[in-house]
Amino acid sequence: MYQSSPQEKNFYTARANQFGHQVVRYLDGRLEADVFQQFRLRNGLYMERYSPMIRLAIPYGQLSSGQLRTLAYVADRYDRGYGHFTTRQNIQFNWVTIEDSPDLLRDLANAGMHAIQTSGSCVRNITTDHLAGVSPDELVDPRPWCELIRQWSTLHPEFYWLPRKFKIAVSGSVEDRAAVRFHDIGIELHKNTRNEVMARILAGGGMGRTPVIGKVVKEAVPVQDLLPWLQAIIHVYNKHGRRDNKYKARIKILVNDLGIDAFAREAEAVYERYRDIHPAWDPKRIERIEAGFARPELNDTQAASRHIPVNSDAFGKWKRHNTEAHRDPDRLIVHLSLKFPEMAPGDMDSSTMRRLADLADLYSGGEIRVTHRQNLVLPWVHKRNAYALWRELDEIKLAMPNIGMLTDMIACPGLDYCSLANASTIPLSRELGRRLDDLDRLHQIGKISLKMSGCMNACGHHHAADIGILGVDKKGEEWYQITLGGDAGNSARIGQRLGPAISRDGIVDGIIDIVETYLEIRHPGESFADSLHRTGLEPYQETLYADHQKQRSRPHKVAA
């Protein structure tokens, strides 16, 4: 996997030292809070409901075992012993202090990690398919191109103070596992008939209070022109994007206001100007980056002698639901679920991080991936080591066979941490997890995506779920809106609102009722999405609102 160069590590350290000087000035009263805010945000530091939170970048979701051990150290030294993996392949620590943050960043720099541009109105962490480089359906490995974009966009002088945050996702497979249609810029890589790598560029996608599916700006761009095209698109946004209203400042609003054709024409005109002044394309640059993504050295002999018991039903379930085919026929892609009732979705404690780092060294070439579903992946597991790995994962509670099931839910931090939240998500996810803890029943239900957000910012991606839950505040009380039929993949769809909000006391029963209704009306082998397309919302509305009992339930007070 790609490793930061000594020069990059020195840059991260220098950046941490610069931020440390600003922290001292702020704590001494020489720097006003609103000025310090811009410094801290561009170094990943937020002021949340109960404590500062820091978000650390995991570029394109790829971690080494050594970096995971560093995160475990950070969790123990600067937090409360755990971290939270996010839907954008980053990790957050929710209980840090302002005073300690520069030292935290210096420790990260030594491991080739940072928090640069993980917040603020700038180009954020570049994300991609968590199966990049190992999936059988891959057309082009997107990771080198993500790294190229990361290097180009870091501290870019023109795009460091954009109207609002800017998110880019890249995919290179037949199946979109990077939600490219819900990003400010989405890039789909493919090869033309001459085996040349091309990029299909979309713009104007996003979630939040105004969910929008991105539209095609350019159907086929030679990759040597990719950076000039990105620069042109962001330039148009930087020039015309609104700065007077943060709720209308994202590029999706601009694309909608101008229309995609007018936006694309202006971007192309800017591209023509940039093309003449942009540095000449150097193919050796991408070749050097690609060399960093070579297949890792793999140790496949450690567990070859372990046999599989004849009646290992638990192992069979795990293998069916938590592993999938690899482009190497001798290997498996192994998914690790971070969804169980004792922890918030996406959370992992430091001891588990260390154990997993050891297992990654033993079974996966020292490599771990972070997914958009707040789970992890070991991408290089030999088939003959699957049973041995499963036994060790089971010991550290990372072998829950629920990938893609209802309990594999996505949830933002909600009221437990976030200063913007209107309602809780973590207690709700735990309660749903307890109600749906029968694995046989889960597997009978089949794959259904369930995502929840505590406010309109939609950090839980509820718009793009089979079942989406949005927390709302009604006169200081927690209520929840339900949407059905969303999808983040190739058939991107925005979920349809089912009806009036449901009270906190009624929402869990409401979700269970929706699932039971699906089981009653589905045809054999019919997915939730296909069933909903056939029947529409009406059967679910009849189930949920027939007697309005759930609206009359006693609501929960929002925590202060």
Task: Label residue 277 by pLDDT band (50, 70, 90).
Answer: confident
- pLDDT at res. 299: 79
2-18 pLDDT per residue, tens: 899 999 999 999 999 99
pLDDT (mean) for 133-150: 98
pLDDT (mean) for 285-300: 92
Q: Are 63 and 56 in contact (CB under 8 A)?
A: no
Tell me the C-alpha to C-alpha distance, in Å, between residue 43 and each of 4, 91, 154. 18, 14, 12
Q: Is the dihedral of CA 424, 430, 433, 435 positive or negative?
A: negative
pLDDT (mean) for 201-210: 98
pLDDT (mean) for 193-209: 98
Percent of the chain with pLDDT over 70: 96
- pLDDT at res. 302: 57
- Given a cut of 80, whether residue 266 has pLDDT beyond it is yes
Provide the β-strand partners of residue 555.
none
- pLDDT at res. 366: 97
CA 167 to chain centroid, in Å, comes to 11
- 3-class DSSP string for 307-371: CCCCCCHHHHHHHHHHEEECCCCCEEEEEECCCCCCCCCCEEEHHHHHHHHHHHHHHCCCEEEEC
d(CA 357, CA 365): 10
Percent of the chain with pLDDT over 90: 92
Residue-averaged pLDDT of the chain? 95
- pLDDT at res. 167: 99
Task: Label residue 558 by pLDDT band (50, 70, 90).
Answer: very low
- pLDDT at res. 559: 43
pLDDT (mean) for 352-356: 99
- Listed range (308-317, 505-514, 521-530) with the worst mean pLDDT: 308-317
Residue whose token pair is 């060790």: 392
532-544 pLDDT per residue, tens: 999 999 999 999 9
497-510 pLDDT per residue, tens: 999 999 999 999 99
- Given a cut of 80, whether residue 308 has pLDDT beyond it is no
Task: Label residue 130 by pLDDT band (50, 70, 90).
Answer: very high
d(CA 282, CA 279): 9
- Given a cut of 80, whether residue 392 has pLDDT beyond it is yes
- pLDDT at res. 550: 45
pLDDT (mean) for 276-302: 87
- pLDDT at res. 301: 65
* DSSP codes, 206-260: B-TTS-B--EEEEEEEEGGGHHHHHHHHHHHHHHHS-SS-GGG-SHHHHHHHH-H
- Given a cut of 80, whether residue 551 has pLDDT beyond it is no
Residue 362 has which token pair?
């033993």
Domains of the chain plus CATH, in order, are 6-110 (3.90.480.20), 127-289 (3.30.413.10), 314-395 (3.30.70.3340), 410-557 (3.30.413.10)
Task: Label residue 341 by pLDDT band (50, 70, 90).
Answer: confident
Q: Are 204 and 262 in contact (CB under 8 A)?
A: no
Single pTM value for the model: 0.95
- pLDDT at res. 303: 58
d(CA 393, CA 56): 25
Provide the β-strand partners of residue 503.
479
- Given a cut of 70, whether residue 143 has pLDDT beyond it is yes
pLDDT (mean) for 153-181: 97
Task: Label residue 309 by pLDDT band (50, 70, 90).
Answer: low
- pLDDT at res. 312: 82
- Given a cut of 60, whether residue 304 has pLDDT beyond it is no
- pLDDT at res. 560: 39
d(CA 206, CA 215): 11
39-64 pLDDT per residue, tens: 999 999 999 999 999 999 999 999 99
CB atoms within 10 A of CB 395: 10
Query: Coil, strand, or helix at residue 123?
Result: strand
- Given a cut of 80, whether residue 164 has pLDDT beyond it is yes
Task: Label residue 352 by pLDDT band (50, 70, 90).
Answer: very high
- Given a cut of 80, whether residue 547 has pLDDT beyond it is no
- Given a cut of 60, whether residue 552 has pLDDT beyond it is no
- Given a cut of 90, whether residue 546 has pLDDT beyond it is no
CA 206 to chain centroid, in Å, comes to 13
